C-alpha cells in the first residue's frame, strides 16, 4: 500500500496498545502506518450497564462506521467485543496470537474473604457471564455494576468498599498492570475469544487483506472461531451468561463451555474433544448439546 495504512482504534490505553501492536507488526513488514482515534458509544456512556446498551456493538459501531466511510483502512478490536454475526460488508483479516485468556480478581484488601462463608462480599463486574459464574460459586456474595476502561475500573475498585472486581487478565498484562491481580480465576470459563485481538477490514479491500492476513495466528484463529461458533449457535449475545474456551492439546482440540442462569442458580456445562483437523462445526455441536441439556431456557430468559 502506497499511502500509510490508517489504523482505527478507541482511545483507551488498552485499545491504543492493541492498535500500536498491529502498527508495529505492519511496520516490521515494511509498511508505513498511522493511528486514528475513534470514540465509541461505550466510551462516551460510562454509567449504563453494558447489557442494557445492547451488548457487543457499543464498542464497535463507531469503528465500523469509520471503515465503511473510508476514514480508516483497518480497525483493531478485542475479539470478544465483536458480534458473532456481521451483516456489514466488513471481514476479519487476521486474529493475532492470544494473550492469557483467563479472568482475574483484583482485590486491593486481599482475598481472605473467599475462605469465609460468613462474609457477604461485594464483587464488581458488568458482565453477566462473570456475574453468573461468580454467584454459582459464591451464592452469598452480591454483584455490583462497574464501567469504564481498565484504569478507571482499577481506580473504582480502590476507592469503593467492595471486596474486589473481575478483570480479563489479558487486558491487565498488555498494559503492565498485572501486578494488581490478586488471584487468577482458573475455574471461570472465559468469554469466547477472550484474550485475542482481531483486525477488521472492508470486505472488498483485497490490498489490505493481503497485507493484514500475514498477521494471522492459525491456532488462535481456529480456537476462537470454534468458541464464537458456539455463541452464535446459542443465539447468545454479549450479555448472555455463556463462557467458552477451546485449546489445542497435541493433535486434539478441546472445547469447554458453560451456560448459566444470570443469578448463578443453574449451570450447564460441556467438554468435547476432537482431532483438531476435524474441529469445524464443534462449536455448533457443543451449543446444541447445551441447549438440549436445558440451556435453551436460559437463552430465552435473556430475550424476555
Query: What CATH number does residue 94 fall under?
Result: 3.40.190.10
Q: Which of 11, 65, 73, 81 is catalytic?
A: 81
For 302, phi and psi rounded to 5 degrees? -70, -25
User: pLDDT tens-digit profile of 194-252?
Assistant: 999 999 999 999 999 999 999 999 999 999 999 999 999 987 655 678 999 999 999 99
Q: What percent of the chain has pLDDT over 90?
A: 81
Average of per-residue pLDDT across 55-69: 81
Do 108 and 85 fall into the same domain? no
138 assigned to some structural domain: yes
User: pLDDT tens-digit profile of 236-277?
Assistant: 655 678 999 999 999 999 999 999 999 999 999 999 999 999
The range of the structural domain enclosing residue 252 comes to 230-303
Residue 284, domain CATH = 3.30.160.40
Do 210 and 88 fall into the same domain? yes
User: pLDDT tens-digit profile of 170-181?
Assistant: 999 999 999 999
Average of per-residue pLDDT across 76-89: 92
User: pLDDT tens-digit profile of 129-144?
Assistant: 999 999 999 999 999 9
Average of per-residue pLDDT across 42-60: 57
221 assigned to some structural domain: no
pTM above threshold 0.75: yes
Do 130 and 248 fall into the same domain? no
Q: Is the per-residue pLDDT at 55 higher than 60?
A: no
Residue 45's pLDDT band, with cuts at 50, 70 and 90, is low
User: Rounded distance, CA 135 to CA 117, Å?
Assistant: 13
Give the per-residue pLDDT at 53: 46
User: Rounded distance, CA 185 to CA 167, Å?
Assistant: 10
Do 74 and 153 fall into the same domain? no
Decide which of 130, 163, 185 is a domain's last residue. Answer: 185
Is 81 a known active-site residue?
yes
The three-state secondary structure class of 102 is coil
Average of per-residue pLDDT across 107-119: 94
User: Rounded distance, CA 36 to CA 11, Å?
Assistant: 9
Residue 86's pLDDT band, with cuts at 50, 70 and 90, is confident
Do 13 and 82 fall into the same domain? yes
CA distance from start to end of the chain: 48
Phi-psi region at 254: left, alpha or beta (left = phi > 0; alpha = psi -120 to 50): beta
Do 201 and 180 fall into the same domain? no
Amino acid at each position: 500500500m502506497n499511502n500509510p495504512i490508517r489504523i482505527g482504534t478507541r482511545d483507551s490505553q488498552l485499545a491504543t496498545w492493541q492498535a500500536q501492536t498491529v502498527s508495529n507488526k505492519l511496520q516490521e513488514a515494511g509498511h508505513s502506518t498511522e493511528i486514528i482515534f475513534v470514540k465509541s458509544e461505550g466510551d462516551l456512556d460510562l454509567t449504563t450497564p453494558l447489557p442494557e446498551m445492547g451488548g457487543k456493538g457499543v464498542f464497535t459501531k463507531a469503528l465500523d462506521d469509520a471503515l465503511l466511510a473510508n476514514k480508516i483502512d483497518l480497525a483493531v478490536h478485542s475479539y470478544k467485543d465483536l458480534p458473532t454475526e456481521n451483516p456489514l460488508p466488513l471481514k476479519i483479516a487476521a486474529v493475532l496470537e492470544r494473550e492469557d485468556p483467563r479472568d482475574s480478581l483484583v482485590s486491593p484488601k486481599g482475598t481472605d474473604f473467599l475462605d469465609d462463608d460468613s462474609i457477604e462480599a461485594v464483587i464488581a463486574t458488568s458482565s453477566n457471564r462473570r456475574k453468573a459464574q461468580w454467584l454459582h460459586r459464591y451464592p452469598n456474595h452480591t454483584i455490583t455494576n462497574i464501567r469504564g476502561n481498565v484504569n478507571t475500573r482499577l481506580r473504582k475498585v480502590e476507592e469503593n468498599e467492595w471486596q474486589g472486581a473481575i478483570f480479563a487478565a489479558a487486558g491487565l498484562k498488555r498494559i503492565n498492570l498485572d501486578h494488581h491481580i490478586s488471584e487468577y480465576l482458573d475455574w471461570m470459563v472465559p468469554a469466547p475469544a477472550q484474550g485475542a485481538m482481531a483486525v477488521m477490514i472492508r470486505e472488498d479491500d483485497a490490498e489490505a487483506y493481503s497485507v493484514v492476513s500475514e498477521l494471522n495466528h492459525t491456532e488462535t484463529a481456529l480456537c476462537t472461531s470454534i468458541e464464537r461458533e458456539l455463541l452464535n449457535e446459542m443465539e447468545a449475545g454479549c450479555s448472555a451468561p455463556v463462557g467458552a474456551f477451546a485449546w489445542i492439546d497435541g493433535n486434539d482440540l478441546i472445547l469447554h463451555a458453560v451456560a448459566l442462569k444470570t443469578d448463578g442458580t443453574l449451570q450447564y456445562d460441556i467438554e468435547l474433544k476432537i482431532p483438531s483437523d476435524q474441529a469445524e462445526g464443534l462449536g455448533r455441536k457443543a451449543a446444541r448439546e447445551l441447549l438440549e441439556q436445558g440451556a435453551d431456557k436460559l437463552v430465552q430468559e435473556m430475550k424476555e
